[in-house]
């Protein structure tokens, strides 16, 4: 009797905790902030393709579609995998390529501004995956992975509830109800959080296999790579005693942080430390190794762990100032 009752109680409490974790309504402020920032990043990173659109995304270019599809074919198969899809596999004339590209940029811009946010988030995800598959392999790197992840989870929740033109449109229509907490906003944020934990865990596990990460020298080899280098940090080598220790500390701290991020980020006492470490690591990579867009993408994903109340405290005054000084004068004209 006792064991059954205890088990039943355990299951009920576990279900309750699970339900609250995933389905408790949350203010969509965090999701809205991620939309604003991730939308701007999607817009910029895809705008850069315009500088050599035909070469990277055209039917020929560096890697012709016909050749790329042979790489997408599994051993023993005759045809490329159907599930590796992209609009750009179908587009032939340059004018159509440019039309789709301009349309995509408008979608990313609308997502950033928060105009028809939910629909734009869905389109942004489909378009981002289209670009990513066209350049994978070839010119892709971690940025595509994070861009697509952010766009995917944005479309699940009311990402335009705050800091958006959608919210101003609601006000103009006379809808002054406060933004209500949303279950789907919580689902979207939770998925981003758990996905981010998986990313850091496997990134850490992969590094753990490396001898230089174990030995504490990996950061040096990253800094000494002149193709990546955007800020010369090799002066560390001129400190024969202190330099190796600093490099080793940075290497071990990075590895430890990545491997245990998935545990420490859930505790409210260790979370600020973990998130500030994320800022340090990604800003460091952005400044020293020139991967600014990738660093920003990772930092925007980390915002999922910022409480909506905190987001509102930080962003609401700025959003109010922008609305009063830039949007209202235009709207009143």
Contacts of another protein in 229-288 (CB under 8 A): 229-230, 234, 236-238, 240, 243-244
Choose between 126 and 168: whose C-beta lies nearer to another protein. 126
Site for another protein contains 290 (CB under 8 A): yes
Task: Report how far residue 100's alpha carbon sits from residue 96's, in angstroms, rounded to the nearest whole number.
Answer: 6
3-state class (DSSP) for residue 25: coil
- Rg, the chain, Cα only: 23
Q: Which residues of 2-37 are buried (b: 16+ CB within 10 A; e: fewer)?
A: eeeeeeeeeeeeeeeeeeeeeeeebbbbbbbbbbbb
Partnered with residue 182 across adjacent β-strands are: 26
**Least gap, CB of 295 to another protein (angstroms):** 11
Residue 223: left if φ>0, alpha if ψ -120 to 50, beta else—which one? alpha
Q: How far is the CB of 149 from another protein (least distance, A)?
A: 8
**Burial class (CB within 10 angstroms; exposed 0-12, middle 13-18, buried 19+) of 88:** buried
Minimum distance, C-beta of residue 293 to another protein, in the bound complex (Å): 5
Q: Considering the complex, state which of residue 18 and residue 276 has its C-beta at the smaller distance from another protein.
A: 18
Exactly one of 43, 220, 257, 305 binds another protein (CB under 8 A); that residue is: 220
Indicate whether 221 belongs to the interface with another protein (CB under 8 A).
yes
State which of positions 164-203 bind another protein (CB under 8 A): 183, 187, 191, 194-195, 198-200, 202-203
Site string for another protein, 38-77 (x = CB under 8 A): ------xx--x--xx--xx--xxxxxx-xx--xx------
Q: State the binding string over 135-154 for another protein (x if CB under 8 A, else -).
A: xxxxxxxxxxx--xx--x--
Residue 19 sits in the site that holds another protein (CB under 8 A): yes
Q: Is 297 in the site for another protein (CB under 8 A)?
A: no
Q: Which stretch binds another protein (CB under 8 A): 94-102, 114-122, 157-165, 204-212?
A: 204-212
Name which of 265, 286, 294, 305 is nearest 145 in CA terms: 294
Q: Candidates 28-36, 165-173, 205-213, 265-273 — which segment interacts with another protein by CB under 8 A? A: 205-213
DSSP label of 307:
-
């Amino acid at each position: 009797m006792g064991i059954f009752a205890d088990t039943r109680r355990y299951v009920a409490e576990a279900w309750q905790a699970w339900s609250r974790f995933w389905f408790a309504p949350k203010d969509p402020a965090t999701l809205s902030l991620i939309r604003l920032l991730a939308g701007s990043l999607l817009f910029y990173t895809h705008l850069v393709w315009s500088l050599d659109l035909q070469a990277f995304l055209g039917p020929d270019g560096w890697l012709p579609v016909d050749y790329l599809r042979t790489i997408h074919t599994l051993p023993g198969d005759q045809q490329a995998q159907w599930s590796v899809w992209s609009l750009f596999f179908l587009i032939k004339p340059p004018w159509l390529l440019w039309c789709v590209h301009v349309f995509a940029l408008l979608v990313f811009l609308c997502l950033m501004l928060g105009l028809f946010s939910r629909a734009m988030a869905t389109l942004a995800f489909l378009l981002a995956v289209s670009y990513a598959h066209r350049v994978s392999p070839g010119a892709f790197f971690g940025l595509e992975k994070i861009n697509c992840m952010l766009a995917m989870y944005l479309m699940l929740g009311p990402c335009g509830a705050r800091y958006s033109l959608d919210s101003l449109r609601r006000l103009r229509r006379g809808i002054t109800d406060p933004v209500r907490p949303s279950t789907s906003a919580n689902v979207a944020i939770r998925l981003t959080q758990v996905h981010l934990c998986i990313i850091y865990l496997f990134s850490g596990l992969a590094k753990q296999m490396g001898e230089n990460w174990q030995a504490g020298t990996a950061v040096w080899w990253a800094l000494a790579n002149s193709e990546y280098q955007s800020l010369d940090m090799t002066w560390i080598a001129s400190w024969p005693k202190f330099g190796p220790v600093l490099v080793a500390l940075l290497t071990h701290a990075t590895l430890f942080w990545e491997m245990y991020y998935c545990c420490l980020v859930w505790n409210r006492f260790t979370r600020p430390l973990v998130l500030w470490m994320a800022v340090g690591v990604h800003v460091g990579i952005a400044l020293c190794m020139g991967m600014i867009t990738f660093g920003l993408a990772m930092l925007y994903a980390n915002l999922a762990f910022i409480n909506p109340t905190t987001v509102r405290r930080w962003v609401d005054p700025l959003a109010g100032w922008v609305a009063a000084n830039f949007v209202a004068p235009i709207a009143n004209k």
